Copies of this chain bind each other. A is one copy, B any other.
Amino acid sequence: MTRSPATTAEPPPDRVGLRARDPRLAAWRALLQAHAMLLRRLDEELRAENDLSLAEYETLLHLAESPDRQLRMNTLADQVLLSRSGVTRLVDRLESAGLVRRQQCATDHRGSWAVLTTPGLERLRAASRTHLRGIDEHFMSVVAPDDLLAIGRSMGAVADRVASGPGQDVEPPGPDQPDTSGRS
């Protein structure tokens, strides 16, 4: 209300002229919200019951699933979607907790392996009970099996698309796009 002064040609006074109400966006919004809530919850549970953050858990998990239970720092960064420096400090923490051990790479003296220790593996096992229960309780048990398939399929495609995309254009550079905005 009190929309007194005649603003410029304000199109449809829907909300703000943003196409924010596009119904297709409902899925996107639901995804955002559910994901945020869900991860927060799982992280809380993990911290409360196992004193591990989600990132730490994921790190231990990836190590456990790797040959010889070890990974190069670099690879680890890719897998847990963290920056190099992020992984350095994460492994610092895990190492000082005794869950992981660093070992210099024999063939490449620049790098090192992060190796899962036995206590690390045990801690992971304990945490996985918490975590898998949480996933089951908050996610699996709420989603219909068919929808689960749809999610897996879609999200795989999304990941591929995003991965392929910084510079690479999946769609050839707009030929002669007749300008769409008075860009700044």
Verify B41–A162 contact, CB threshold 8 A: yes
Most chain B CB within 10 A, of A135, A148, A163, is at A148
Which of B18, B24, B33, B153 is the one whose CB lies under 8 Å from A140? B24
Contact A37/B147 with A20-B128, A125-B18 known, Cβ cut-off 8 Å: no
Is A46's beta carbon under 8 Å from chain B? no
Is A124's beta carbon under 8 Å from chain B? yes
Is A104's beta carbon under 8 Å from chain B? no
Nearest CB of B to A101, in Å: 16
Q: List B contacts of A26 (CB < 8 A).
A: 152
Those of A135-166 within 8 Å (CB) of chain B? 135, 138-140, 142-163, 165
Chain A at the B interface: mostly helix, strand, loop or mixed? helix
Chain B, Cβ-Cβ closest to A135: B28
Verify B30–A152 contact, CB threshold 8 A: yes
Verify A16–B159 contact, CB threshold 8 A: no
Q: List B contacts of A37 (CB < 8 A).
A: 81, 158-159, 162-163
Contact A156/B20 with A28-B135, A41-B162 known, Cβ cut-off 8 Å: no
Which of B19, B35, B152, B162 is the one whose CB lies under 8 Å from A27? B152
Verify B18–A124 contact, CB threshold 8 A: yes
Which of B40, B143, B150, B183 is the one whose CB lies under 8 Å from A158? B143
Is A105's beta carbon under 8 Å from chain B? no
Mask: chain A, 30-67; 1 = CB below 8 Å from B; 0 = not? 11011111101100000000000000000001001100
Is A108's beta carbon under 8 Å from chain B? no
Contact A155/B33 with A27-B149, A150-B147 known, Cβ cut-off 8 Å: yes
Q: List 11 A-B contacts (CB under 8 A).
A: A16-B65, A16-B121, A16-B125, A17-B125, A18-B61, A33-B81, A34-B162, A41-B165, A138-B165, A142-B161, A145-B183
